[in-house]
Structures are given as structure tokens and as C-alpha cells.
């Protein structure tokens, strides 16, 4: 018989002896498996057991069987007293022989509990404080129903994880396995940290100096940081989403899971890391499924503090920068916040690090300038790229386009973006028919954007401009003069996506919601280096009014927020307005470039008409000179609409587009926009074609 089998046989014999002394003989006759366990024990088995006990007493059990070491280790953790040893023996026997519970109930009136262990050790009338001490100790290895009255009669049992541990196993508890992951600090899968090294050092030093609970707030690779802290500590960590603890039904189930988690960490000598502590999780305040409150005070009392009191290192990954703990002492608790954004140098380290790690040939300077993703987002993007392009090394134009789209998708998922649409423009500045003076300003804008990293980073001017670094452009002028097309062409010229904000999704009647929606748009543009485009910008950036009521006050607050956000923005923003005079003067002072669009003159109208006739386009005679001079109020947008309608009219008749079709489309356009009756004289020499 092995050591544990002898322990089981001996505790059965002790129970039987107690009953014999109480006048009850042959108590084992109805329980053959228990009787067989006792009868199996031989003299040499007892001698071997006594030899082991002698070694344990002398502290020389290191070379013993793993079951002996773990059993004796548990006894030490349980206080090393005889009551707790008897209780552990009873629990082991109950697990191995389920009929032991029936045997105890028949003969003692209850199954395994603290009272029975006290009886076997002659502690017939233990005090309440003593019982609570025993309960606190045994709770390390099994669930204790604290509502039981009296507590000493609360029924106890071991689960598979505890018994597996005693017998030498290390499998994760079946209760926790579905949603708990064990990180081994010696894992070779963890690559080096490229940024946040100071946070990793501070976190590991905190625990080395006796710290108990570390809170990592913010976003950007918190679990990756925790793994590096664990590696520096030489400790394994259990990772689990805190919401999983509140998805089970009822408080009792929660207590069972919590008890299992603490035991798991206790047996494996691991720390615990909770993630998923989001604003949404904390806002709910009450979990209807588990019928439990979960505000900060309750979380600390029922979950965080018990883990701390069990001597287990605890790390909390939270979105909020607010302290999750109120009653924990300063020396035991540390709150560290990750930076909200990564600067150029940090992004360069990240891109260079991932490029070196996966043997990718890419321009770290350019990628660092374009994409403002945090470490976690960038890691996801790189791994998504490698899944789609396995084995690729050189990053060419096609691969860079894929990177751009993956970055856009990641930022869109991360921000929950729903306030606009992404456009990948095909237009270039040469496609926009504008006056030379305007083209010169737009070329300056493009050059300013392209050289921004050189000016701000290489030349070291970023520190001189803590705000106002954005390249901002205001396009003003009548409808149809090319403002929207210009915004698309700027993005196309830079090879960047355009993010066109939808005002209908931005403006909200509820206080503060408009600002929240705007923040989503700005964050998205910052992370992806998309060109942020506000059409009809005067609806948002309009002049502040005299405050007559609450509505005026909150409208002015929104404008003030926009002014501050534009200054803090570190990207490219283009705004278009039909009426420049509607813009707030304070806002105009913060714009780096302002361009005024007018209706095209005759020469520009001629260029626009000519641009409609693309290479390979079959048509009959079209009088460009007549069209450009005759209709002097046509904007570029109107010209393109007329031409498209004329082509559709010709195609419907199976004819090549020509002047008759254009005159037909022009007449419809004039009738649509004029408030007076149409006159044939307006068409001039081609009036006969109407």
C-alpha cells in the first residue's frame, strides 16, 4: 500500500475506534469497500508509514514520493495542527470512497465537517473563534458554505483538482478550464517587449517588494505587459475574463468558482490576472444572471480581497484609470496607467521590432508616421498580415496597401466606428480642374504633410509644438466647385484613405453625445492616418452665439470642444463649407491653410468639358467652345451631371452622344435650377436642337 492508501485506512480505523468506544460495534460491516481498505493494511505497511512520518518529523521528506511531499505540504499550509490533518484525511477518504459519506451519516449523523475532525482529536467543544480559524484554513482547499449554521457542521468535500494535486497531477481544474489560460513564465512563445519597458520594470519591482495587487489601466498590450512582468518574477499566471465569473447563475456558483480559482493559484503557486474590466462591465453595476451587485466596493470585498488575503499576486487589467480598490493599503496596491497614445519614436521601435522579429523589409520611419496604433493593435495587424501573406519578406506597394486596409479594419473594430464612411480615392490633383493659384496652395498642403516627420521629428521641432501640429485645410466656396473632389484628390495623392464624417451620425440631441461621436472620428483618423473630411463644416464649426438659454450654452460647448480637439489633433483634417462667413473666427485662426473656390471662368469650364471626353470615347461633334462660353453659371459639378445625363439619353436611343443630346440635358438642368420660365434664347445658336 502507498502512503495515501495507508492514510485512508488509518482514518477509517480511527472513526471505527471512536464508535467502538461509544458503544457501537461492527460499524464497517455494511460498507465492504471501507472494511477491505482496513483489512489490506499489513504490519510492514505500518512500519513503512512510520518511517516516512519519522522523516517528516525531522524535515527530511524532500526525497519522498511526490504524493508524500504534497500531502505534508498541504498540512503545513493548513496550520500543521492535528485537527486540520484529521480533516484533510477525512476529505481524502470521502473523495476516494463515496460510501464513506453514507457511513459517517449513518453513524455520526453528518458527513465530513469541522466538528467531526474536532471529535476525533478530542476537541468536543471548540469555541466559535477556533471554528472560524479552521474554516479559514480549510477554505484554501475546498469550498466552505459560510451561511451554514452552525458553521462547524457545514458539509465539506474535495474536488478533482485538489485530489489530483495530492496524487501528483497538475491538470487545470475542470471548473476553470473552459475560460482560464495558464501562462508559463518559461514559455518560448513570448517575444521581447519593444516599448513600455519602464512599466514592466516597475510592475515586477512592486511585487518583489511585497506588493499584492497591481492595476494596469488604459489600452495597448496590457496582457502582454503582464506576461513580461511574470517572466521577470519567474512566476506563472492564470489569465481569465472577469465577466466569466458573473455569467454563472446564482451567488453560490460564483463562490464555488472563486474558491476553485484561489485553490488553483495556491496549488500551482501562480498569480492571477483579471482582464475584461471595461467601462461597460462596471457601468452595469448589477448582474441579472447571477443576481449580484458588482460595483467597485463589492468587487473588492468579494473577489479581489480574498485573493490578496490568500497570498496570491493579483493583476487587474482595466480600461478605467479610476482606482478599483478603496480599502487596500498603499504599499499593497499600485495603479499604473499606460500612455494614451504612442509617440513617433515608440511607434518606430514597434515597427522596427516586428520587422526584425518576422524578417520583414519595411520602412519603419514611414510606417511609424502613417499608423498611430498602440502595441496591441499593431501586433494584431502584423499577425493578420502574416496570415494573409505567409513567407513574404519584402513589403512592396501591394503589401503596403494590405497593411493599410488591415490597420483601418483594426481601428474601426477597436473604436466601434459608426460616424462616417471610409473611401479609398482614385482621384489625383491633376484630375481636379482648378485655378493655378489654388493648385499652388494644395501642393503646399501635400508637401507639408509629406515632410511633417522631417520637420517635427528629424529636426526636433515637435517639442516646440505641443499642439497645433495638424495639417488643417478649409475649402470654401459655392456648391459644385470641386471642394469634395479636392478632399478626395488630396487623400489619393498621399495614398491615404479618406474618412468622410457623416454629420447625421455625429450631431446628437443629448448633451455630450455629439462630443463623444466626434472623438470617435478623431481617434480613428489618428490611428490610421486617414484624411479626416468634414463636408458642410459650418454645421459643426459655426459661429458661437449669445447665450440666451441652455441650448445655446451647450451648442457653444460643442464648438469649444472642437476648437480644442483640432489643436490637439496630430493628423490631416480637411473641411468644406459653402458659406465661409458662417465659420467661427476663433476656429479660422487655427486653420493652417484656407482656399477660396469660385465658379469656374470660361477657360476652366473649357477644361472641365474637355475632361469629360475621355480617350476612346465615341461621340458625334461636340462644340466645346460654345458650351464653355454660353453657360457661364455652370460649375464643374453641373457640367459633369449634364454630360452624364446626355450620354444616358443618347444610349437610350442607340446613338452616339452629340450636341442634340447635350442640349436636351442642358435644358432639363436649366429648368431644374431656374425660378423663371425657360427661354430658348438661353441656348443660343443651338436652340433649334431642343
Percent residues over pLDDT 70 in the chain: 89
Measured from the Cβ of residue 232, the count of other Cβ atoms closer than 10 Å reads 16
- Nearby residues of 664 by Cβ (< 8 Å), 6 or more positions away: 646, 649, 689, 690
CATH 3.40.50 assigned to 177-337 = yes
| Residues 6+ positions from 183 with CB-CB distance below 8 Å | 227, 230, 236, 237, 238, 239
Cα–Cα distances (Å) from 152 to 77, 104, 144, 159, 259, in that order, read: 20, 15, 10, 20, 18
Distance, CA of 530 to CA of 117 (rounded, Å): 70
Q: List the grid coordinates of 142.
A: 475546498
User: What is the arithmetic mean of pLDDT over 372-400?
Assistant: 87
Locate the DSSP E strands across 155-259: 180-183, 213-217, 237-241
Task: Please tell me whether residue 131 adopts helix, strand or coil conformation.
Answer: helix
With a threshold of 0.85, does the pTM exceed it?
A: no
Q: 575: closest CA among 442, 484, 493, 482? A: 484
What is the pLDDT, as a whole number, of residue 112?
A: 96
SS3 label, residue 189: coil
Taking the C-alpha atoms of residue 36 and residue 8, their distance in angstroms, rounded to an integer, is 11
Here the cell at position 32 is 465492504
What is the spatial distance between Cα 28 and Cα 413, in angstroms, rounded to a whole number?
66
| Per-residue model confidence as pLDDT tens digits over 81-132 | 999 999 999 999 999 999 999 999 999 999 999 999 999 999 888 899 999 9
What cell numbers appear for 661 in the block? 443630346
Cell numbers standing for residue 608: 472641365
Vertex 189, ends 273 and 373: CA angle to 5°?
Answer: 70
Q: Where are the beta strands (DSSP E) in 439-563?
A: 471-476, 498-501, 531-534
Arch. (CATH architecture) of 429-596: 3-Layer(aba) Sandwich (3.40)
Percent of the chain whose predicted confidence (pLDDT) is above 90: 41
Instruction: Tell me how far apart the terminal alpha carbons of the chain are, to the nearest angstrom.
Output: 111
CB 227 within 8 A of CB 184: no
Is the N-terminal amide bond of 150 cis, ω within 30° of 0? yes
What is the separation of C-alpha 324 from the centre of its chain, rounded to a whole number of angstroms?
Answer: 18
Starting at the edge strand found earlier in the chain, the sheet holding 180-183 runs 180-183, 237-241, 271-277, 314-318, 213-217, 333-337
Say whether 429-596 and 177-337 share the same fold: yes
- Which helix (H) or strand (E) segment holds residue 133: the answer is helix 128-138
For 413, the grid coordinates are 473594430
- Tell me how far CA of residue 396 lies from CA of 389, 391, 399, in angstroms: 12, 14, 5
DSSP notation for 38-74: HHH--HHHHHHHHHHHHHHHTT-GGGS-HHHHHHHHH
Q: Which residues pair with 181 in a beta bridge?
A: 239
Higher pLDDT, 62 or 157: 157
Domain ranges of the chain: 3-166, 177-337, 344-404, 429-596, 602-689
Could you read off the pLDDT of 428-480 as tens digits, one per residue? 998 888 888 999 999 999 998 887 767 766 676 666 665 556 788 999 988 88
User: Going by CATH, does the domain composed of 602-689 fall within 2.60.40.790?
Assistant: no
pLDDT band at 356 (very low <50, low <70, confident <90, very high): very high
pLDDT of residue 50: 84
Distance CA 432, CA 481 (A): 10
Q: Are 470 and 566 in contact (CB under 8 A)?
A: yes
For the sheet with 593-596, list strands across it: 420-423, 498-501, 531-534, 572-577, 471-476, 593-596
pLDDT band of 62, cuts 50, 70, 90 = low
Q: Which residues pair with 51 in a beta bridge?
A: none
Max avg pLDDT among 153-157, 305-309, 336-340, 406-410: 153-157
Amino acid at each position: 500500500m502507498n502512503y495515501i492508501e495507508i492514510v485512508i485506512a488509518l482514518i477509517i480505523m480511527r472513526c471505527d475506534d471512536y464508535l467502538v468506544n461509544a458503544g457501537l460495534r461492527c460499524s464497517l460491516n455494511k460498507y465492504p469497500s471501507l472494511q477491505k481498505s482496513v483489512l489490506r493494511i499489513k504490519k510492514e505497511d505500518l512500519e513503512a508509514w512510520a518511517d516516512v512520518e519519522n522523516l517528516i518529523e525531522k524535515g527530511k521528506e524532500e526525497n519522498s514520493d511526490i504524493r508524500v511531499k504534497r500531502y505534508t505540504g498541504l498540512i503545513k499550509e493548513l496550520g500543521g495542527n492535528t485537527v486540520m490533518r484529521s480533516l484533510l484525511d477525512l476529505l481524502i477518504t470521502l473523495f476516494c470512497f463515496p460510501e464513506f459519506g453514507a457511513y459517517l451519516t449513518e453513524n455520526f449523523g453528518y458527513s465530513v465537517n469541522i466538528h467531526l475532525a474536532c471529535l476525533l482529536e478530542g476537541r468536543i467543544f471548540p469555541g466559535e473563534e477556533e471554528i472560524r480559524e479552521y474554516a479559514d484554513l480549510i477554505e484554501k482547499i475546498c469550498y466552505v458554505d459560510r451561511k451554514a449554521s452552525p458553521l462547524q457542521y457545514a458539509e465539506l468535500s474535495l474536488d478533482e483538482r485538489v485530489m489530483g494535486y495530492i496524487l501528483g497531477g497538475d491538470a487545470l481544474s475542470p471548473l476553470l478550464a473552459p475560460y482560464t489560460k495558464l501562462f508559463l513564465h518559461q514559455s518560448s512563445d513570448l517575444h521581447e517587449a519593444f516599448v513600455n519597458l519602464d512599466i514592466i520594470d516597475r510592475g515586477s519591482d512592486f511585487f518583489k517588494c511585497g506588493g499584492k495587487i497591481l492595476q494596469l489601466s488604459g489600452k495597448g498590450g496590457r496582457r502582454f505587459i503582464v506576461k513580461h512582468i511574470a517572466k521577470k518574477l519567474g512566476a506563472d499566471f492564470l489569465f481569465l475574463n472577469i465577466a466569466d465569473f458573473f455569467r454563472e447563475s446564482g451567488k453560490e456558483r460564483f463562490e464555488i468558482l472563486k474558491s476553485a480559482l484561489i485553490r488553483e493559484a495556491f496549488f500551482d503557486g501562480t498569480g492571477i490576472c483579471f482582464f475584461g474590466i471595461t467601462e461597460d462591465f462596471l457601468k452595469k453595476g448589477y448582474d441579472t444572471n447571477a443576481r449580484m451587485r458588482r460595483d467597485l466596493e463589492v468587487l473588492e470585498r468579494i473577489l479581489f480581497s480574498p485573493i490578496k488575503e490568500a497570498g496570491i499576486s493579483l493583476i487587474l487589467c482595466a480600461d478605467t484609470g479610476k482606482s478599483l480598490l478603496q480599502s487596500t493599503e498603499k504599499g499593497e496596491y499600485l495603479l499604473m496607467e499606460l500612455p494614451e497614445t504612442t509617440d513617433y519614436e515608440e511607434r518606430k521601435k514597434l515597427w522596427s521590432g516586428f520587422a526584425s522579429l518576422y524578417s520583414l523589409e519595411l520602412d519603419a520611419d514611414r510606417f511609424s508616421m502613417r499608423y498611430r496604433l498602440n502595441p496591441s493593435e499593431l501586433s494584431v495587424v502584423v499577425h493578420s498580415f502574416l496570415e494573409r501573406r505567409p513567407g513574404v519578406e519584402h513589403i512592396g506597394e501591394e503589401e503596403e496597401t494590405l497593411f493599410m486596409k488591415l490597420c483601418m479594419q483594426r481601428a474601426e473594430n477597436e473604436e466601434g466606428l459608426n460616424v462616417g464612411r471610409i473611401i479609398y480615392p482614385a482621384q489625383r490633383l491633376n484630375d481636379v480642374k482648378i485655378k493655378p493659384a489654388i493648385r499652388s496652395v494644395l501642393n503646399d498642403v501635400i508637401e507639408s504633410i509629406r515632410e511633417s516627420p522631417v520637420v517635427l521629428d528629424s529636426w526636433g521641432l515637435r517639442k516646440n509644438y505641443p499642439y497645433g501640429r495638424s495639417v488643417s485645410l478649409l475649402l470654401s466656396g459655392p456648391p459644385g466647385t470641386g471642394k469634395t473632389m479636392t478632399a478626395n484628390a488630396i487623400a489619393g495623392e498621399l495614398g491615404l484613405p479618406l474618412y468622410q464624417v457623416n454629420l447625421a451620425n455625429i450631431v446628437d440631441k443629448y448633451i455630450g453625445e455629439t462630443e463623444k461621436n466626434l472623438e470617435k472620428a478623431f481617434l480613428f483618423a489618428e490611428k490610421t492616418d486617414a484624411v479626416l473630411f468634414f463636408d458642410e463644416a459650418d454645421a459643426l464649426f459655426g459661429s458661437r452665439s449669445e447665450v440666451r438659454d441652455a441650448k445655446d450654452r451647450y451648442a457653444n460647448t460643442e464648438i469649444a470642444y472642437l476648437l480644442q480637439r483640432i489643436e490637439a489633433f496630430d493628423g490631416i483634417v480637411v473641411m468644406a463649407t459653402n458659406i465661409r462667413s458662417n465659420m467661427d473666427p476663433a476656429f479660422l485662426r487655427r486653420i493652417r491653410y484656407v482656399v477660396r473656390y469660385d465658379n469656374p471662368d470660361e477657360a476652366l469650364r473649357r477644361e472641365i468639358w474637355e475632361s469629360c471626353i475621355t480617350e476612346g470615347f465615341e461621340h458625334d461633334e461636340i462644340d466645346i467652345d460654345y458650351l464653355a462660353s454660353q453657360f457661364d453659371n455652370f460649375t464643374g459639378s453641373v457640367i459633369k451631371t449634364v454630360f452624364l445625363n446626355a450620354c444616358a439619353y443618347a444610349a437610350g436611343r442607340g446613338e452616339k452622344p452629340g450636341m442634340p443630346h447635350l442640349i436636351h440635358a442642358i435644358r432639363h438642368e436649366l429648368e431644374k435650377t431656374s425660378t423663371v420660365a425657360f427661354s430658348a434664347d438661353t441656348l443660343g445658336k443651338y436652340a433649334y436642337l431642343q
